[in-house]
Copies of this chain bind each other. A is one copy, B any other.
Amino acid sequence: MKITSLTNAKVKQWSKYKEKKYREIDKKFLIEGEHLLQEAHKEGLIECVISVEENTSWDMYEHYEITSDIMKKLSSSVSGSNIMALCHYSEQKETYGKKIIILDDVQDPGNLGTIIRSALSFGYDSIILSKGCADVYNEKVIRSTQGACFHIPVFRKDLQEVLTDFKQQGIAVYGTALKNAIDLQELKVKTPYAFVFGNEGQGVSQGILNRCDKLVKIEMETFESLNVAVAAGICMYTCNH
């Protein structure tokens, strides 16, 4: 089906999904670019495909051909896209697995996406976001995950309640901190465990640090400053070895 009007009802509906509140009402979101479509397709999340030119490789889905003006309206990317898809949220079972990442108010979409990407690559089972984290269905988060977000369960929870559950279930909780912490090289992880990473400016909040079984510090030499996604990647990798 061809759509040429910027005021077409479908176009209006789709463009609403650039905002979190509309994504949450309908549990739908937009993705951009061939690579993300392929990753979303593997998990059966695509509802329809939207492209500027005819594109027969996605014939298995309902397909809309649109103008480049409409694409500009729908796209969040600066460089622009040729193909997008409307997807629905994935249904997730309430199981966290044995290697869990907890994020305490990670606010930058790029950081959140990058951590999700690393978590999947390093074989972590799930990610739990505090209420103050960026939205996983934000276009920039999805792009930074490179599609990893479709393949690993991501939950949004009250972290204090989660930590109470984990205590009962015997899941060890490790947190990163600059003070009163052992060197990362000294940490011997015991599965099942969860690793907590914190906000870009403040780190892990004190209320969460207080409930960690062990606090860990990445050994640094001079500047003592790491991006949270880098810190998370180093901890995840090191705990695997």
Report which A residues bind B (CB closer than 8 A).
Answer: 110, 114, 117-118, 120-123, 144, 146, 148, 151, 185, 218-227, 229-234, 237-238, 240-241
Q: In the bound complex, what is the Cα–Cα distance between A89 and B117 (angstroms)? A: 36
**A121 partner residues in chain B, CB cutoff 8 A:** 220-226
What's the least CB distance linking A151 to chain B, in Å?
7
Q: In the bound complex, what is the Cα–Cα distance between A218 and B237 (angstroms)? A: 9
Cβ–Cβ contact A221 & B148, under 8 A: no
Cβ–Cβ contact A117 & B240, under 8 A: no
**A223 partner residues in chain B, CB cutoff 8 A:** 117, 120-121, 148, 151
Q: Could you list some 26 contacts between A and B, CB below 8 A?
A: A110-B110, A114-B227, A117-B225, A117-B226, A117-B227, A117-B230, A118-B226, A118-B230, A120-B225, A121-B224, A121-B225, A123-B220, A148-B223, A148-B225, A151-B222, A151-B223, A218-B237, A219-B237, A219-B240, A221-B240, A230-B232, A230-B233, A233-B234, A234-B237, A237-B238, A238-B238
Q: In the bound complex, what is the Cα–Cα distance between A238 and B235 (angstroms)? A: 11
Cβ–Cβ contact B225 & A227, under 8 A: no
**A229 partner residues in chain B, CB cutoff 8 A:** 114, 227, 229-230
Cβ–Cβ contact A123 & B230, under 8 A: no
What's the least CB distance linking A103 to chain B, in Å?
15
Q: In the bound complex, what is the Cα–Cα distance between A221 and B237 (angstroms)? A: 11
Q: In the bound complex, what is the Cα–Cα distance between A220 and B233 (angstroms)? A: 11
Least CB separation from A152: chain B residue: B223
**A222 partner residues in chain B, CB cutoff 8 A:** 120-121, 123, 151
Cβ–Cβ contact B117 & A220, under 8 A: no
Question: Looking at the complex, which one of B218, B224, B226, B233 makes contact with A226 (CB distance below 8 Å)?
Answer: B233
What's the least CB distance linking A188 to chain B, in Å?
15
